[in-house]
A and B are shown apart, each in its own frame.
Chain A
Amino acid sequence: MSLLEVRDLRVSFPTADGVVRAVRGVSFDVDAGRTIGIVGESGSGKTVLTQTLLGLTAGGQVSGQAVFDGTDLIGLGEEQLRRVRGAQIAVIFQDPLTSLHPLYKVGWQIAEMIRAHDKSVSKKQAAQRAVELLGRVGIPQPAQRVKDYPHQFSGGMRQRAMIAMALSLEPKLIIADEPTTALDATVQAQILDLLLRLQQDFGTAMIMITHDLGVVADIADDVLVMYAGRAAEVASKRDIFYKPHHPYTKGLLESIPNSSAAGGRLRPITGQPPSLINLPSGCAFHPRCAYVMDKCLTDEPSLTPVAQDGFHRSACWLPASAAGLSAEAEDQRRRTVGEGRSVAAAKIAEAIAKSPEAEGSVIA
């Protein structure tokens, strides 16, 4: 049994404009000590998905299961959830400047969390532990720096402090929500290094949320690619990079600077992310997909195995053999099997590629 088993998780927010369907039936597992990378563009539901595990999506309607260490977190009472937060599952957020309380000392904030979960720890012991932790995450002179306020730390040091806090109760799982996005490139690498090293030392499992496939390449074992609140593709890191199946995954890979998949060219995915209130019919990616077929306009594909191992799964109507093929190669393949691409669909795809503002509404 995995440490975390998420099944068919759905989260929607009723708003004045309509229901925002932020997460629409996502399932994935996280094994003890392993790292899963969750990638997807802004608004694809990465944060909502993971915050829901801790009951932190206020105002959302949630269904599905998230069994963590034998307990379903969904629908757990507030007090029980509180005990899981921080102690069992810790979170590292994107912007360490705004995520630390500006009016409290860094060490105090770490000690507060320790004591929130174990009243038997004295203030002094907790403060001592905060010093040790700051030292452990590479902050020089930790005994002095615990008494600093967050604004006296540099960006990288603040994120180190957040990591120290996350590790303070030796949780089984850490959710890192874009932990390096707000940092300078050089600091990013150091922080990733630190996370990786500490994760190995502590044997902690990790969910690494990012829209940077480079981060995934550095740190993840498995990858979940999200698009419009659903899992587009799930695979080992190796398969995601060498045998991507879903056209969205392929698009992501081609948009990495210097990626081998793009042959050196940089090709951003055309079009805009869809509205989560009025989703496109069929496959939510079809308005932006270069491979679109008739079926894609009407039927929504679900996650299906595309490899022998059964682990590599993709939510796309293309056959398993499309894994790793470029758009041109896929056209070539279709011609040889005589499958043919839908003319109507091809035209629509073309029209949409020309006018990115048209979004998904053309077909609906």
Chain B
Amino acid sequence: MAFASFVIRRLLLGVVVMWVVSVATFLLFFVAPQDPARLLAGKNPSAQEIANINRRLGLDQPILVQYWHYLIRLLHFNLGTSYFTGTSVNTILKEDLPPTLSVMAGGAVLWLIVGIGAGVLSATRARSLVDRISTTGVLIGITFPTFVVGLLLLFLVFKPLNQAGFHWIQTGYEGPSQSIVGWAGHMILPWITIAAVSAATYTRLTRGALLDALGEDYVRTARAKGLSERRVLYRHAVRAALTPVVSQLGVDIGTLAGGAVVTETVFGLGGIGQQSLTSILNGDTPVVLGIVLVAALFVVVANIVVDIAYSVLDPRVKLS
């Protein structure tokens, strides 16, 4: 019961957040310097032509009326159509979301595996070679910005491999519907890019949390119970060290989205990142609003999921 009321409360709150975000974006574009009609009208348009376009797009009406129309459409899950291509925003999102989501999901999985794995290794073998290597890796990962890592991978991995006749690794985007392996070949470098930048933080976080846990009384109890060292490490110490890692994940979801936008641009995946860039420059308000709303929805849902995961991981945490 507490669970259902938590989810409902948070979803309602999420709707409010998304509404506020949509109003803010709408206002922002109303006062922005771009004039879509002028961009659409071609060279040396007459005032009449521009007025016609503005009427067609509904831009001649007062802002409140424009917003009202937008809201009514939104309630029917219709995000409108692009000023420039005339394509519906729903269709644009359907095309551009998969590459971005692929980058984020795979990248996050890889970074958690690598980050937690390296963290466990370096904590259990403190001051060993593994520890040193991963500590150095942390430094490198933290130092380089996402696009540098992406470019390095392009020039040091993608180019030489393709010249050598190894064509599995590809740039651009290809959906998983035809071939999962092909999809992974397109995604592997972007995933590594995302993971390389963020895994480092998680290595350090896991290492610290695990070293703390290993010094806890309950780990001593676990040993005194006669459990195997493996079980003591994984079931007792690592288990306890995961809680801070998951709460950090909640904080990093925004960073993840930012990293994905940069990464897909570097690898030419044609996702949400590139789309938002063009749409913002053109003042294509319906597309930008659609993207902003989807991003807000993503953050709202992700935060609910992280909070639920956190309360599942730590029974002392109450959902509220």
A residues with CB within 8 A of B = 54, 56, 78, 82-87, 90-91, 93, 95, 98-103, 112-113, 116-117, 149, 151, 165
**In the complex the two chains form, is B236's CB within 8 Å of A85's CB?**
no
Q: Which residues of chain B are near A99, meaning CB under 8 Å? A: 217-218, 220-221
Contact A78:B229 (CB < 8 A) given known A98-B216, A103-B313, A149-B315? yes
Q: Which residues of chain A are near B222, meaning CB under 8 Å? A: 101
**In the complex the two chains form, is A103's CB within 8 Å of B240's CB?**
yes
B184 to chain A, nearest CB (A): 34
Contact A54:B224 (CB < 8 A) given known A78-B229, A101-B236, A102-B240? yes
For B226, B227, B316, the residue with the greatest tally of chain A CB atoms inside 10 Å of its CB is B226
**In the complex the two chains form, is B225's CB within 8 Å of A98's CB?**
no
B141 to chain A, nearest CB (A): 29
Out of A95, A117, A149, name the residue touching B217 (CB < 8 Å).
A95
Interchain CA distance A112-B218 in the complex, whole Å: 14
B residues with CB within 8 A of A = 216-218, 220-229, 231, 236, 239-240, 243, 313-316
Q: Which residue of B lies closest to A82 (CB)?
A: B226
Q: Given A82-B228, A99-B220, A101-B240, 12 other A-B contacts at CB below 8 A?
A: A56-B223, A56-B224, A83-B226, A85-B225, A86-B224, A95-B217, A98-B217, A99-B218, A101-B221, A102-B240, A103-B240, A116-B228
Q: Which residue of A lies closest to B235 (CB)?
A: A112
Q: Which residue of B lies closest to A55 (CB)?
A: B223
Q: Which 8 A-B pairs have the closest CB atoms?
A: A86-B226, A85-B226, A98-B217, A113-B225, A101-B218, A91-B224, A86-B225, A99-B217
Out of B221, B231, B239, name the residue touching A103 (CB < 8 Å).
B239
Interchain CA distance A302-B119 in the complex, whole Å: 49
Q: Which residues of chain B are near A101, meaning CB under 8 Å? A: 218, 221-222, 236, 239-240
Q: Which residues of chain B are near A98, meaning CB under 8 Å? A: 216-218
Q: Which residues of chain B are near A82, meaning CB under 8 Å? A: 226-228
Q: Which residue of A lies closest to B221 (CB)?
A: A99
A53 to chain B, nearest CB (A): 11
Q: Which residues of chain A are near B313, meaning CB under 8 Å? A: 103
Interchain CA distance A93-B218 in the complex, whole Å: 10
Interchain CA distance A358-B132 in the complex, whole Å: 43
Q: Which residues of chain B are near A149, meaning CB under 8 Å? A: 315-316
B126 to chain A, nearest CB (A): 12
Contact A100:B218 (CB < 8 A) given known A78-B229, A149-B315, A149-B316? yes
Interchain CA distance A91-B222 in the complex, whole Å: 11
Q: Which residues of chain B are near A112, meaning CB under 8 Å? A: 225, 227
A275 to chain B, nearest CB (A): 23
Q: Which residues of chain A are near B239, meaning CB under 8 Å? A: 101, 103
Interchain CA distance A83-B315 in the complex, whole Å: 31
Interchain CA distance A85-B313 in the complex, whole Å: 28
**In the complex the two chains form, is B216's CB within 8 Å of A85's CB?**
no
B213 to chain A, nearest CB (A): 10
Interchain CA distance A112-B223 in the complex, whole Å: 12
Q: Which residue of B lies closest to A91 (CB)?
A: B224
Contact A116:B224 (CB < 8 A) given known A103-B314, A149-B315? no
**In the complex the two chains form, is B221's CB within 8 Å of A100's CB?**
yes
A95 to chain B, nearest CB (A): 6
B273 to chain A, nearest CB (A): 38
Interchain CA distance A151-B239 in the complex, whole Å: 17
Interchain CA distance A93-B217 in the complex, whole Å: 9
13 contacts between A and B (CB under 8 A): A86-B226, A90-B224, A99-B221, A101-B222, A101-B236, A102-B316, A103-B239, A103-B240, A112-B227, A113-B225, A113-B227, A149-B316, A165-B225
